[in-house]
Structure 1
Amino acid sequence: MLLNLHVKNFAIIDEVDVTFRDNLNILTGETGAGKSIIIGSVNVALGGKVSKDIIRKGADYALVELLFHTDNDYILNRIKELDLPVEDGQIIITRKIMSGKSISKVNGETVTAANLKEIAGLLIDIHGQHEHQSLLYKDKHLDIIDRFAKENIYDIKNNLEVEYRKYIDIGNSLKELKIDEDKRLREMSFLEYEINEIKNAALKSGEDEILTADYKKFSNAKTIAEGLNQVYDLIGYENLSSAGNNIGRSVKQLSRLTEYDETIKGFYSQIMDIETLVNDFNRDLSDYIADINGYEDDFTITEQRLNLVNHLKAKYGSSIEEILQYLKSREEKLTQYENYEETLSALNLEYVKQEEKVRKLSEQLSVIRQEKSKELASKIKEALIDLNFLEVKFEIIFRYTGHYTGNGYDDAEFIISTNPGEELKPLSKVASGGELSRIMLAIKSVLAHKDEINTLIFDEIDVGVSGRTAQKVSEKLSMIADKHQILCITHLPQIAAMADAHYIIEKQSDGITTHTSIRSLKEKESVEEIARILGGAKITDTVIQSAEEMKELAKRTKKY
C-alpha cells in the first residue's frame, strides 16, 4: 500500500507530506484547489510526462517521493531481480525534476524509465478519464479478460510467447534461405571468404588481452628500461652505496660477531635470507632488462598481430569470442547453402510443426478465454446493475483475427445495451463519459479479487453521476476497498461519506504566491466538508444534519 506522499516545489505545491491509510482514502476540495495536481504528482513520480512549468516558480527543482509497503513475495522478488535493495518490505520511489532533466530512484538506486514503469505497475493502478476512455479500444478488452482468467491461462500464455517466437524465427530463416541460384552462389562465395579470413587468423580466446598488454609494454620499453636500470643501480652491486653491496658488508660484519653472542646468530640468519632475496631479485631484474632491450622484433610482431585482431573485430565482432561465434554461424549458413534442397525441405517441415504448436496453444488459450469471458460478462453485468444500470445487457464477443500473434489469434470486444429495447452495441457507440467511468468501476470491482496490485487511485470516477447512482458508486468503492487500498478524488457527498480516511485539499494565497496543501480531517471536520459539498456557499444546520446522516448511513452500509 501507499503509506506516504511527499511533494516539494511541484506546480503550486510548496511542500506537502501526507500519510495515507488502508481501505478507502477520500480526497475532496474546492474546484481549482489542486486535486488534480496531487494525483499528477503521483503520476510523475511513477514516470509520467513532465510539463515545462512543473517546477514551482523560484525553485531550482521539484521532488516527489512515494513510500510503499508490501509483503507480496512476487513483487519483492521482482524488485530484487532488478538489483534493487529492499528492506522490511518498504519501497521508496523518488523523482527529482530539474531544468531539462529528471532522476528517478528506487530505494536510493537510480533506475531506468522502463524499470520504474514495471515497478510502478506492480504497486499501483491509476484510473482517470484517460483510463476510462481506454475502454473504447478493443485491445483493452482482451487484456481485461486475460487479467480475469490469469490463473487459468498463465502457463499457456508463457508457452505461447516462447513457441511463437520460435515460429517467427523459423519463418525468418525460411525467407532468408529462399533465394535464386545466382544469389545463392554469390552468398556461398562471400561466406567462404569470411570463413577463410577468420580461420586463417587462427584466433585464440583471450589473445587480444595478452596482445594489448604486450603492446603497451613494448610501446613503453625505453621508459621501462631506463627506470629499471635506475632500480638496478640502487639495489645491485655496481655502486659502493647500493643495497646489494651494503647487505654484503652487513653479512660479513654479522658473521664475525656471531661467536660473541648467540642472539646475533638470529640476525645473521635473517640477513642471509635477505641477501638471497636481493640476489634473486637482481638476477631476475637483470634478465628482464636484457630481454626488454631487444624488444624491437617482438614489438613488430605484436603490433602486426594486434592490427589483424582489431581488423577482424571491426568486421565480425567486438571480441574474439564474438568473432568465433560469428564464424560458427557463417559455417552453419554455408552448410545450409551447400545442402540447399535438404535444408529447405527440413526447415519447411520444422515451420509446419512449429505452426501446429502455435495453433494448438492459441486454440487452448481461446477456449479458456471464451469460457471465462462468459463468467466475466455475468459478473460485470451484476456489478453494472449494482451501479444503477438497471436494464443493462452486457456480453463479450470473440472474432478470429486470421493470423497468429504471441497473444493468440483472438479479437474480443465488449458490447452493451443500457436501455430496454436497444440492441447490443460496442462501448464506443453507446457509452457516455459518465457511463464509461461506472463501467470501469464495475470491471475493477470484478477484478479486485484477481488483482495483486494493492493500491488503486480513482480520479473522475464520479463524472456524470448523481443521486441514487452516486450512492451505488460509493458502495461499490467501499466494497473494493475492503480488499484494496483506494485513493479517490471526488466531488460527490455520497462518496465522501464512505471514507475510512478523509483528506481535504486546499489552496491558499497571500496575494503574492499561491500554494496547495493537503491534510487529514477528523470526524467533525469530515462532516463539515461533506456539508460544504452538499450546501455550496451557505451551510445551514439542516445541511450539517444531512451530512451527519450520510456518514451514519455509510457506516451502516459498511457493516453489511
Structure 2
Amino acid sequence: MLLNVHIKNIALIDDANVNFTDNLNILTGETGAGKSIIMGALKIGMGDKLPKDIVREPDKEGFCQLLFLVDDPQVIEQIRDLGVEPSEDGEILITRRINNSRTINTINDMAVTAAKLREVSALLIDMHTQHQQQTLLKKAEHMKLLDKYGRASIDPLKQKVAECHREYVTLRREMDELSMDEAERSRKVEFLKYQIAEIESANIKTGEDEDVEHQYNRMVNSRDIVAAASDVYSVTGYESSSSAGNEIGRALASMKGIKDLDGEIDGLYSQLENIDALLNDFNVELNDYMQSMDFDDSEFRSVESRLDVINDIKGKYGSTLEEVLKYLEDSRKEYERLSEYDEYIAGLSDKIKKAEKAMLKAADALTAERQKQAENLCRDIRDALADLSFMEVRFDMVFDRLPECTANGIDDCYFVISTNVGEKLRPLYDVASGGELSRIMLAIKSCMASEDNIGTLVFDEIDVGISGRAAQKVAEKMAVISRSHQVISITHLPQIAAMADSHYLIEKSADEGKTVTRIVRLSDEESTEEIARLLGGVTITEAVMSNAREMKQMAEKTKKY
C-alpha cells in the first residue's frame, strides 16, 4: 500500500506531500492543472528515466519520495531476494534526489541503482496509463497477459521448455560447426595432430616456466652475484687478518684470559662465542652458495634452450602453461571427434532428434496449460466485461502454432472479441475502439488483480472515451477492485469521483509570480462541490449540487467493503 508521496521541485510542483488511504483514492482537476505531472512524478519515484528539465529550479534539489507499507509475507520475501530489507514494521521508503542532472536513489536509506529501484517498485505498485492500454493492440502482448495470469502453473512449464530449447540449440550449433567436407576435415585432423604432438613433445608441467625462468635469471646474473658474494666473504670470513672472522677470534682469545676474573665478563664471553658461531655458519653457507653458482656453458645452454621451448609453446597456445594444457585437452577431444567423424556425427544427430522430441513434448505440455488457463482468463474477462456494460460480449483466445519452437514455446496466441450480437469473433487488435479498449483493459486488470499480490494499482485516466452508463459501470468495477487492492486513479468523470473513499483535488495557481500545482485532500462537502464542477462546468447551480449529492449517496450504497 502506498502511504505517502512527497514531491519537491519537480516540474510545476514546488512542494507536495500527499497521504493516501486504503481502497479507492481519486484525483480530479481542471484540464491543464497538472494531473499528468503527478503521474510523471510517481513514475520517477518508481525508477523511470528522468525527462529533460524535470527539475523546476535547477539550482535546487529535485526530490521524489514514495512510502509503502508491505504486510504480505510473500512480497516481503521477494523484496529481500532483491537485496532490500524492509523496516521492522514493513515500510519501504523509496527516495530519488536529483542534483545537477545527477540522481541518487535510495531504498530505506540504502543506495541502489535505478534498475534495482524499478525491480522493487514493480513488486509494490502496478501503474496503468493510456499508453499501456495501447499494448492490447499488439498481438505479442496477449500471451504475456495470459502467462502472467496463470504464472503459478505456466512458469514451471515455460522454464522446462527454455531448458530443452537451450539444449537443442546447443546441439544444433555444434552440428553446424562440425559440418565440413572430407578435405577440410582431413586438413583439420592433420593440423590438430601436429599441434598435439608439439605440445606433448615439450613435456611441460604446471609452474615449470616460473622455475626455469628463475634459474635462467640466476645463471645470467651469476657473475655479478658471485663477485658481490666474494666481497662479502672477504669481509666476514678468514682470508685476511682484518676479516671479521679473524678479528672476533682474537677478541675471544683476549676475553678468555680474563673471563674467570669476573662473572659478568664470563656472560659477555658466552655472547661473543655465539656471535663467532653464527658468523662461522654464515660463512659456510655463503661459501656453499658461491660454489653452487659455478655453472658450465653446457648447463646454461640447456636451461636457456628449455626456457625458449616453454616461451615458444606459450606464444602459440596460451599465455600461461595452465592455458596451454587446457588447449591440449580440448585439442585431443576435437581430434578424437574428427578422427571418428562419421560415428560422432551419427551420435550427435541422434542426440538432436531426442532433444527436439523432448523440447516439443515440453512445448505441447505448455500449450495445453496455456489453453486451460486461457479458458479461465477469458471466462473471467467476459464476466468483467458484462459488468462494464458489454452486452452479449464474446471474448476468447485463438491458439496458432509457430513454424518452429522457441524458448517461450510454440504458441502464437491472441485475443478475439465480438461486442455485438451476430458479429463474428475478430482479433482484438483489429476491432476495439478507444472507449472499448479502456473498459477491456480495466476488465483485464480486475482479473489480474485477483491473481497477483501487488498492493497498489494506479490508473491514469482509464475512463478515456467512455461516458454515461458505461462510466458508472467502470466506477463500480474500480470500487470492486479496491476491496482487495489500494486503487489510485486520475479521472474526469463524476461517476468515478463519486465512488471515491478519498478524493483529492489537483489545482494550478500563481504563487509569488510562479505557477505551481498543488494537491489537497477534499472534505466530504468539498468533494461534492468538485463532483458538481465535473457535472456542470463553470456555473454550479443548486440543481447540479443536488445531483452531485445524490450521486455520492448512490455510490455509498453501491460500495460494500
Tell me which residue corresponds to 2:497.
496
1:186 and 1:109 map into 2 onto residues whose CA distance is: 60
2:121 match: 120
CA distances 1:368-414 after superposition (whole Å, capped 9, x unpaired): 21122122212211111110111322121111112101111111111
Q: Which runs of structure 2 are paired with 1:90-109 in the superposition (5 Å)?
A: 90-99=91-100, 101-109=102-110
Other-structure match for 2:394? 393
For structure 1, which segment, 19-28 or 463-472, has the greater mean C-alpha deviation from structure 2 after superposition? 19-28
Mapped to 2, the partners of 1:95 and 1:196 lie a distance apart of 63
Deviations along 1:130-186, one digit per CA (max 9) or x if unpaired, are 110000111111112222222232321221111111111111111111122233334
* Cα 1:547/1:173, change in 2 over 3 Å: same
Q: 1:82 to 1:451 in 2, by over 3 A?
A: closer
- 1:485 maps onto 2:490 in alignment: no
> CA offsets per residue over residues 405-430 of structure 1, 9 Å max, x none?
11111111111121222222112221
The answer to which of 191-200 and 549-558 deviates more is: 191-200
Cα distance in 1 for partners of 2:95, 2:327 equals 43
Gap change, CA 1:438 and 1:191, over 3 Å in 2 = farther
The offset of 1:354, in angstroms, is 0.9
The residue aligned with 2:167 is 166
State the partner residue of 2:152: 151
| Residue 33 in structure 1 maps to residue 36 in structure 2 | no
**Paired position in structure 2 for 1:372:** 373
Give, in whole Å, the separation in 1 of the partners of 2:392 and 2:439. 15
The residue aligned with 2:20 is: 20
Q: What SS does structure 2 have at the residue aligned with 1:93?
A: strand
Letter in 2 for 1:142: M
Identify the residue that residue 548 of structure 2 maps to in structure 1: 547
Distance 1:385 1:319 in 2: 72
Amino acid in structure 1 at the alignment position of 2:34: G
Structure number with greater Rg is: 2
Q: Which runs of 5+ in 1 are unaligned?
A: 226-255, 261-270
> 1 CA distance for matches of 2:397 and 2:23?
31
Name 2:11's counterpart in structure 1. Answer: 11
Counterpart-to-counterpart distance in 1, 2:166 and 2:116: 23
CA distance in 2, matches of 1:319, 1:491: 71
Unaligned runs of 5+ in 2: 226-259, 265-270, 295-299
Please say which of residues 404-413 and 80-89 is displaced more in the overlay.
Answer: 80-89
The residue that corresponds to 1:425 in the other structure is 426
Q: 1:323 to 1:77 in 2, by over 3 A?
A: farther
Alignment check: 8 A CA contact 1:505 1:516 kept: yes
> What residue in structure 1 maps to residue 140 of structure 2?
139
Q: 1:117 to 1:358 in 2, by over 3 A?
A: farther
Asked if the contact 2:59–2:100 (Cα under 8 Å) also holds between the matched residues in 1, the reply is: no
The question of 1:512 aligning with 2:513 is answered yes
Structure 1 residues 75, 341: CA separation in 2 closer, same or farther (over 3 Å shift)? Answer: farther
Partner SS for 2:559: helix
Deviation at residue 308 of structure 1 after TM alignment = 8.0
Equivalent position of 1:558 in the other structure: 559
> How far is the alpha carbon of 1:514 from its aligned partner?
1.6
Paired amino acid for 1:67: L
Say whether 1:70 aligns with 2:70.
yes
Distance 1:494 1:307 in 2: 83
1:383 and 1:442 in contact (8 A); partners too:
yes
Distance apart, 1:529 and its partner CA: 2.0
Residue type of the alignment partner of 1:48: D
Matched residues in 2 for 1:64 and 1:204: separation?
61
Whole-angstrom CA distance in 2 between matches of 1:340 and 1:389: 65
1:349 aligns with 2:350: yes
For the residue of structure 2 that corresponds to 1:384, the secondary structure is helix
- Contact 2:506 2:520 (C-alpha < 8 Å) held by counterparts: yes
Distance 1:537 1:68 in 2: 38
List per-residue Cα deviations over 1:12-58 (Å, max 9, x = no partner).
22222222222222111111111111111222233323322212144
| CA shift in 2, pair 1:555/1:102, >3 Å | same
- 1:60 Cα deviation from its structure 2 partner: 4.8
Distance of aligned partners of 1:308 and 1:488 in 2 relative to their CA distance in 1, 3 Å threshold: farther
Output the CA distance in 1 between the equivalents of 2:508 and 2:196. 73
Return the alpha-carbon distance in structure 1 between the equivalents of residues 21 and 114 of structure 2. 28
Partner of 1:244: none
Letter in 2 for 1:465: I
Which is worse superposed, 197-206 or 448-457?
Answer: 197-206
Three-state SS of the structure 2 residue aligned to 1:65 is strand
Cα distance in 1 between the residues matched to 2:496 and 2:310? 74
Q: Residues 345 and 51 (structure 1 numbering): CA distance in 2 closer, same or farther, change over 3 Å?
A: same
Supply the AA of the counterpart residue of 2:424.
E
Cα deviations by residue, 1:430-475 (Å, 9 ceiling, x for unpaired): 1111110110001111122111222211112000111111110011
Equivalent residues in 2 for 1:21-420, closer than 5 Å: 21-88=21-88, 89-99=90-100, 101-189=102-190, 191=192, 328-420=329-421
**Distance (Å, rounded) in 2 between the aligned partners of 1:448 and 1:168:** 37
Paired residues of 1:384 and 1:439 also in contact (CA < 8 A): yes
Q: Please tell me the residue identity of whatever aligns with 2:153.
A: N
Aligned to 1:252: none
Rounded to whole Å, the distance in 2 between the matches of 1:110 and 1:57 is: 24
1:126 Cα deviation from its structure 2 partner: 1.3
Distance (whole Å) between structure 2 residues aligned to residue 322 and residue 86 of structure 1: 46
Residues matched between the structures, number: 524
Q: Structure 1 residue 190: deviation in Å?
A: 5.2
Amino acid at match of 1:39: M
CA RMSD of aligned residues (A): 4.7
The amino acid across from 2:40 in the alignment is: G
Q: State the shift of 1:100 in Å.
A: 5.0
Q: CA deviation at 1:346?
A: 1.1
The 3-state SS of whatever aligns with 2:96 is strand
2-side partners of 1:19 and 1:75: how far apart? 22
Q: Deviations over 1:84-127 (max 9, x none)?
A: 44433333333344555544443444444544433333222111
Three-state SS of the structure 2 residue aligned to 1:465 is: coil
Contact residue 389 and residue 418 of structure 1 kept, 8 A: yes
How far 1:363 sits from its partner (Å)?
Answer: 0.7
Question: Aligned pair in 2 of structure 1 residues 325, 306: CA closer, same or farther (>3 Å)?
Answer: closer
Kept in 2, the 8 Å contact 1:126–1:456? The answer is yes
Residue of structure 2 equivalent to 1:529: 530
Partner-residue secondary structure (3-state), 1:332 = helix
Q: How does 1:442-457 map to 2 (within 5 A)?
A: 442-457=443-458
Contact map agreement 1:9 1:59 (CA 8 A) in 2 = no
Q: TM-score, normalised by structure 2?
A: 0.78
Alpha-carbon distance between aligned partners in 1 of 2:443 and 2:53, rounded to the nearest angstrom:
36
1:463 counterpart residue number: 464
Quick check: 111-120 or 29-38, which moved more? Answer: 111-120
Indicate the percent of aligned positions where both proteins have the same amino acid: 44
Q: Is the 8 A contact 2:3 2:19 kept in 1?
A: yes
Is the 2:202–2:310 contact (alpha carbons within 8 Å) kept by the matching residues of 1?
no
Cα distance in 2 for partners of 1:26, 1:121 equals 21
